[in-house]
Amino acid sequence: MKYIIPLLLFILLAMTGCQQTGEVKGQQTLKNNEALLFESNKYGLSISKDSGWQLIDEKNEERLNLKLSNGTSYSIISAVSTEKNFSKIKKELLYGAGDVEIIKDSKHQISFETKMKNKIRTDIHLSQNEEFTYVVTFVTSLKDYDEERKDMEKLLDHISYD
């Protein structure tokens, strides 16, 4: 568990230059009367409050970085410019992650786990519209992953890219 925070910080730093053009996949439309955990018109992003996650940090300067937690897992949501393609973003993230085993690598997602004794699982989901590339990263201990997966999917379902 002590490796989660450094891994989250690394991913946050690695996202500084990540991007591509395309369209947003898995877009959800939130109801107008739904309570929001987070909303940014500038970045075209909103998260409904009933996602089961709590916002623990927000940086909204040159780019958007949100840090959320559900108590046992962490998520970082970033909105960055669209300069790099998804494959370049994934390559940079893997390079910085070090010695990891890739679990899944598809067009809009990459998942990997560390090879340490206490394994950490990282799932990264990529979406894009004309203005921004959205990177949603989940970090959890491998032993808790199966229990946490539904909460991760729930958060993805409660994110709207406007």
Compute the distance between CA of residue 4 and CA of residue 156 in angstroms, rounded to an integer. Answer: 20
Compute the distance between CA of residue 84 and CA of residue 91 in angstroms, rounded to an integer. Answer: 11
User: What pLDDT was estimated at residue 29?
Assistant: 43
Are the beta carbons of 87 and 71 closer than 8 angstroms?
no
Band (pLDDT 50/70/90 cuts) for residue 154 is very high
Query: CA torsion sign, 75 to 76 to 79 to 82?
Result: negative
User: What pLDDT was estimated at residue 77?
Assistant: 97
Q: What is the pTM of this model?
A: 0.80
Task: Read off the pLDDT of residues 56-72 as tens digits, 9 standing for 90 and up.
Answer: 999 987 889 999 999 89
Are the beta carbons of 34 and 99 closer than 8 angstroms?
no
User: What pLDDT was estimated at residue 17?
Assistant: 41
**Residue 10 pLDDT > 90:** no
Tokens of 123: 């799932």
- The enclosing H or E element of 91 equals helix 86-97
Compute the distance between CA of residue 39 and CA of residue 116 in angstroms, rounded to an integer. Answer: 37
CATH of domain 4-20+38-161: 3.40.1000.10
